[in-house]
Amino acid sequence: MGTALLTDKYELTMIQAALKNGTAQRKCVFELFTRRLPSWRRYGVVAGTGRFLEELHDFTFTPSDIDFLSKEGVLNDETLDYLRDYSFTGDIYGYAEGEVYFPNSPLLIVESDFANGVILETLALSILNHDSAVASAASRMTAAADGRPCLDMGARRAHEMGAVAAARASVIAGFKGTSNYEAARLYDIPAIGTAAHSFTLLHDSEEEAFAAQIESLGVNTTLLVDTYDVTAGVDLAVKVAGTKLGGVRLDSGDLGVQAVEVRKQLDALGATDTKITVTSDLDEYAIASLASAPVDSYGVGTKLVTGSGAPTSSMVYKLVQRENSEGVMESVAKASASKASVGGRKSAARELGSNGRAVAEVIVVGPEQESATYVQERPELRPLHVDMVTGGVVDDSWTGASGLGRAIERHEASRAELPRNALRLSTGDVAIPTITRELD
């Protein structure tokens, strides 16, 4: 199945008008970026790039797509013929997935003719806006967890395929597993989960429910102990499973207080290795508040898949350079109030201090060779752009489970470069400034 109809109508009507007046084949440079971060966030996380490249493989118009567009009666035969044969033939480069970013970071660059590139706007934005929002929230959560595992349990709070995307994005930012089986299958993510309250309520007694779960899954399972009374539930859990019980889960009440009480109870019963997982509307602030509690892992749902207050990353896709009527490339920029953009082809680098910590985001505006040389000649600058598509051919090392593994590694290294105050949860300025340098 093709993915080309995952687009907005105006992409195709622009192509039609450009084909008619002869500008469709003009060379262009498109750039995806965000103008600002949420006030409470000091950095963002690039996520969704691998999914975008996977979708690009199938971004062609099928016969049924063309039939639908033809019946709508808006597009003429010339445009339909163009779309019938469409496949992306340009170049795409940008920030590696998992990299942190800041306002005006040139996250994805598309170089192609106008028609070839403009049509990708909606696909790129819909994927990166969502996935980066989830990954940015997840990164704050894993930072707050300080090494304790965070687990995705948000599938029931999202669109069905949105849940898969969210699970993948959360893992980029350090989550260790997902309850969603489709995400586990597609991206080789560890699947987690045992039983809900309904399983306990199904049985005539809590003890009977625990016994059934232990018989099915073994003593290393995690028992949900707060369907009725937590203290009684913990007693029953150890009674049924023994002191080798893998874990208990708390899903309600004052989680910090309960975790302390349950830890004491488990230790007193001899279940000193039994882990405590907490769930129930957690976000980065709740996780941080549990830092001193004897919690072993966190299950996060609603706040994760909705970006913890920022469900989109406010990314935009703008034309920043185009070929003029004389065949010369020139910079273009939007000048609207509060929505201005910076024209010109860009390279990006991160300036690192002597301690290896990031000092600034450096955006170099200028021709490809000159900007690349500028970055290469300065050892304090780490280049941020990597090639993803060359001549229409996708580099598959950025996709699938292996691409996800690369993104996980990149995020871990990139976040470690940030100044320590970047991980604070309080409202404040972005972690490092963005500096734009224009080359003559």
The pLDDT tens digits of the residues spanning 163-194 come to 999 999 999 999 999 999 999 999 999 999 99
Domain-located, residue 386: yes
Residue type (1 letter), 313: S
pLDDT category at 1 given cuts 50, 70, 90 is low
DSSP code at position 191: B
Domain-located, residue 337: yes
Domain boundaries, position 89? 9-134+310-438
Percent of the chain with pLDDT over 90: 93
Domain-located, residue 223: no
Domain-located, residue 178: no
Residue 113: in which H helix or E strand, if any? strand 108-113
Residue type (1 letter), 365: V
Query: Mean pLDDT across the stretch 122-150?
Result: 98
Residue 92: in which H helix or E strand, if any? strand 91-95
- At residue 298, what are phi and psi to the nearest 5 degrees? -125, 130
Task: Tell the burial category of 391 from Cβ atoms under 10 Å away from its Cβ (0-12, 13-18, 19+).
Answer: exposed
Which of 79-83, 190-194, 366-370 has the lowest average pLDDT? 366-370
Over residues 413-435, the pLDDT tens digits come to 999 999 999 999 998 899 999 99
Q: Which two tokens stand for residue 94?
A: 């940008």
CB atoms within 10 A of CB 190: 12
pTM of the predicted structure, to 2 decimals: 0.96
Residue type (1 letter), 298: Y
pLDDT category at 342 given cuts 50, 70, 90 is confident
Rounded CA-CA distance 242/221 in Å is 12
Rounded CA-CA distance 153/134 in Å is 13
Strands 150-152 and 44-45: unpaired
**What's the structural domain count of the chain?**
1
Domain-located, residue 328: yes
Q: Measure the N-to-C terminal CA separation of the chain; round to a whole number of Å.
A: 47
Mean pLDDT, the chain, as a whole number?
Answer: 96
Q: Which two tokens stand for residue 49?
A: 């790039």
CATH number of the domain enclosing 42 = 3.20.140.10
Domain-located, residue 295: no
90 Cα distance to chain centroid: 25
Domain-located, residue 102: yes
